[in-house]
Structure formats: structure tokens, C-alpha cells
Structure 1
Amino acid sequence: MNEPVSTQTYADQIRRLAELTARVAAQRSEAHTWYAQQVAAAERAVAEAADQVRRAETELVEAQRMVERVDGEVTHLWAGLRDRLGGGARRLGDPPGPVRDAVGDPVPLLRGVRELLERTGQPGELPGSVNPLLIACGIGGALVAYLLGIGARTLGAGSGGDLAVGLPVLALVVTLLGPLVGLAPARLLADRRHAVLTPRPMILVAGSGLATTLLLLAATYTR
């Protein structure tokens, strides 16, 4: 037969059982708390990772747009450079590609290149070395107009009716416009030298043409 358990031993066992139960409950509570903390930390890590992915995707889209913008600007600037060089642009080839391990914002660099091209592409004034050519334009224009006037007067002299009256008047108008005729070749000269036809060369052309016209008219009417 089983021996009866003493009251004191039974009370000790009950107390020990209660202590073990409390310890198990505390450990279970601690395990639940730890699990909840781990789940919260994992959820935070997932949320942070998702946010980082969204930021990375946004940065990737912006970077792609920047690459497209830079490529387009490089192509445009390269085309402008080829226009500046003219016939020598064949040696340039295609626009340069991206440089490996390049750092920094390309926008200020592209802006500097654009400003440099704009400064170099701005037409300037004709140099003083072309003054003889400008004078020749004025003289040549006046001579052409004078010869056209002579032709019109000759044609009018050999005609009758209204032509006999109108052609001499037209000849006089063409002759008087002689000082301005030389501005056309002067403009072509300025365009070939990528320059602007400023008032100084215009006055030089018109002045030489006017002097030539006056001399021709004086020579004609003093015969």
C-alpha cells in the first residue's frame, strides 16, 4: 500500500507546483513579449525595406530621366559644335558617351558648355581688313546700277510712246539707288565671315557707292 503523504510534504509540493506554474507563466509571458517584439521589429524592417525600395524606384526613374535629358542635351550641343566647325566637323564623329565613375551634377557642366558655344557662335563685326572689299562692293554696286540705267535710257531712246518717257525716269531711279546695291554683296561677305553688317561697314559701302554714282553722273552730264 502507498504510504500516506504528510501534510507538510503535500503543502511543500503544492507550493512548489505553484512556483513552477508561476515560473512557466512568466516564461510564457516573456516568450510572448519577445515574439511580439520580434514580429514588430520584423514588420518595421519590412516597412523600412519597402520604403527604401520605393525611394530607390523613384531615384531610378529620376536618374533615367536625367540620363535622357543629358543625352539629348549632349546630342544638341554636339550638333551645335558641328555647325560651328562646318566642314571640319567630320572628324568629330559621334557624341561622346558617359564616362565611367563620373561624379557630380552634369547640369552645370552642360550649362557651361552651352554658354561657351553661345559666346563662340555669336557673330561679331567685320574686321577692318575687309574695308577694301566693302569699298569694292560699293563701287561695284554703283557701276552695275549705272550700267543698268544706261541700258534703260538707251532702250527708251530707241522706243516710242510711254516707254520713251518712262524708261529714262526708271534709269534715273536705278542710278540713284546705286549706292545701296553694294549692300547685297556686302551682306553675303558678312555672312561668309559669320559677322554682322553693322552701321560702319554699311556706311562705308553706301559712301563709296554714292561717291562713285556722283562721279559717274558728273562725268555723264559734263560731256
Structure 2
Amino acid sequence: MNEPVASETYAAQIRRLAELTARVAAQRAEAHTWYAQQCAAADRAVAEAAEQVRRAEAEVAEARELVERVDAEATHLWGELRARVGPSARRLGDPPGPARDASGDPVPLLHGVRQLLDRTRQPGELPGSANPLLVCCGVGGSVVAYALGAGARALGAGSGGDLAVGMPVLALVVTLLGPLVGLAAARLLADRRHAALSPRPIALVVAAGLAATVLLLALPR
């Protein structure tokens, strides 16, 4: 038969069992707390990662939109440049692609190119070196008008009736329009040089044309 256990030993075993039970419960509670903390941290990490992905997708979409807008603006500016160059624009080819080492915001660069094209689109004034050509335009226009007037006078002199009376008047009017003919030639000169026909060139052409017309009318016939 089993020997009876002393009450002191039984009580000690009960206390130890209670201690072990309490320790296991504490460890179990600690494990549950650690697991809950790890799950919360994992949830926060997943939420932060999802937010980072959302921001990255938004940045990618914004960057793609910026690239499309920059490409469209670059193509438009390239077309304006080709229009400014004229017939020799075939040598320019297609718009250049993005540079590999490009950095920074392209919007200010495009704005600078747009301002440069706007400045080149505005015609300047003819330089002083074009003054001899302007004088030639005025004199040439007067000579052409005088020659037409001389032809009209000759036609009137060889005819009778109303032509004999009207042609000299018409010849005088055509001769006096010589400076205006010179202005038409000066306009062509300014257009070829992409310049504006300002008051100074106009005055020079008109003065040269009037002087030539007066000299031609003063010649003996």
C-alpha cells in the first residue's frame, strides 16, 4: 500500500502548482500581448506600405502627365521653329528626344524657348547698312513710274481726241506715284530680311523717290 503523504508536503505541492499555474497564465498573457502588438505593428506597416504605394502611383501618374505635356509642348515649339526657318526646315528633321542626362524641371526651359520664339517672331528694324538699298528702291520706283508716264505721254501724243488730252494727265499722276512704287520694293526688302518697315526707312525711300522724280521732271523733253 502507498504511504500517506504528509500534509506539509501536499500543501507545498499545491502552492508550487498554483505558482506554476500563475506563471503560465502570466506567460500566456504576455504572449497574447506580444502577439497583439506584433499584429498591430504589422497592420500599421501594411497601411504605411499601402499609403506609400498610393503616393508612388500618384507621382507616377503625375510624372506621366508631365511627360506627355512636355512632349506636346516641345513638338508645338519645334513646329513653330520650323515655320520660322522656312523652306530650309527640312534639314531640322523631327523633334529631338529627351536627353539621357537631363535633370531639373523642364517647364521653365520650355517657357524660355517660348519667350525666345516670341522675340524672334517680332520683326526688328532694318539696319543702317540697308540705307543704300532703300535709296535705290526710292530711285528705282521713280524711274519705273517716270518710264510708264513717258510711255503714256507718247501714246497720247500719237493719238487724237480724248487720249491726247487724258494721257498727259495720267502720265503725270503715274510719275508722281514713283515714291509709292519704291515703298513696295522696300517692303519686299524688309520681308526678306524679316524686318519691319519703320518710319525711318519709309522717309528715306520717299525722300529718295521725290528727289529722283523732281530731277526726272526737270529733264528737258
Band of TM-score, shorter chain = 0.7 to 0.9
Matched to 2:140, the amino acid is G
Q: Does 2:3 match 1:3?
A: yes
Matches for 1:19-34 after TM superposition, within 5 Å: 19-34=19-34
User: Per-residue CA shift, 1:8-44, capped at 9, x if unaligned?
Assistant: 2222222222212211211111111111111111111
Query: How far does residue 216 in structure 1 lie from its aligned partner after superposition?
Result: 2.9
Secondary structure of 2:109 counterpart: helix
- Equivalent residue, structure 1, for 2:45: 45
* Cα 1:165/1:104, change in 2 over 3 Å: same
Q: Which amino acid aligns with 1:51?
A: E
- Give me the whole-angstrom Cα distance separating, in 1, the residues matched to 2:168 and 2:62: 74
Q: Equivalents in 2 of 1:101, 1:42: separation in Å?
A: 40
Q: Which moved more, 1:67-76 or 1:186-195?
A: 67-76
Asked whether 1:190 is paired with 2:190, we answer yes
The aligned residue for residue 126 of structure 2 is 126
Evaluate the alpha carbon distance shift between residue 166 and residue 34 of structure 1 in structure 2; reply closer, same or farther with a 3 A threshold. Answer: farther
How far apart in 1 are the matches of 2:176 and 2:76?
47
| Equivalent residues, number | 220
Which letter maps to 1:195? Answer: A
Pairing of 1:65-214 with structure 2 (within 5 A): 65-86=65-86, 88-119=88-119, 122-152=122-152, 158=159, 170-214=170-214
- In structure 2, what is the Cα distance between the partners aligned to 1:96 and 1:187? 36
Q: Quick one: structure 1 residues 201 and 4, their matched pair in 2 at CA, closer, same or farther if it must change by over 3 Å?
A: same
| CA distance in 1: counterparts of 2:208 and 2:125, whole angstroms | 19
TM-score, structure 2 normalization? 0.81
Instruction: Give the % identical residues.
Output: 76
Per-residue deviation, 1:110:
3.1
Relative to structure 2, which stretch is displaced further, 81-90 or 198-207?
81-90
Cα distance in 1 for partners of 2:173, 2:7 equals: 146
Once residues 190 and 69 of structure 1 are traced to their aligned partners in structure 2, the CA distance between those partners, rounded to angstroms, is 37
Structure 1 stretch 46-55 or stretch 175-184: which is displaced more? 175-184
- Please give the alpha-carbon distance, in whole angstroms, between the structure 1 residues aligned to 2:170 and 2:64: 67
Equivalents in 1 of 2:57, 2:218: separation in Å?
84
Deviations 1:96-122 (A, max 9, x none): 222224322223333344444444554
- Structure 1's unaligned 5+ residue stretches are none
Distance of 1:212 and 1:198 partners within structure 2: 22
- Is the alpha carbon distance of 1:99 and 1:168 closer, same or farther for their aligned partners in structure 2, counting shifts above 3 Å? same
Structure 1 match to 2:13: 13
Q: Report what 2:35 is aligned to.
A: 35
In structure 1, give the amino acid aligned to 2:15: R
Q: Rate the CA distance shift 1:166–1:9 in 2: closer, same or farther, 3 A.
A: farther
- Give how far 1:139 is off: 1.6
Bigger shift: residues 12-21 or 142-151: 142-151
Give the whole-Å Cα distance in 2 for the aligned partners of 1:4 and 1:155. 163
Q: What is the one-letter code of the residue matched to 2:20? A: L
Displacement of 1:6 in angstroms is: 2.7
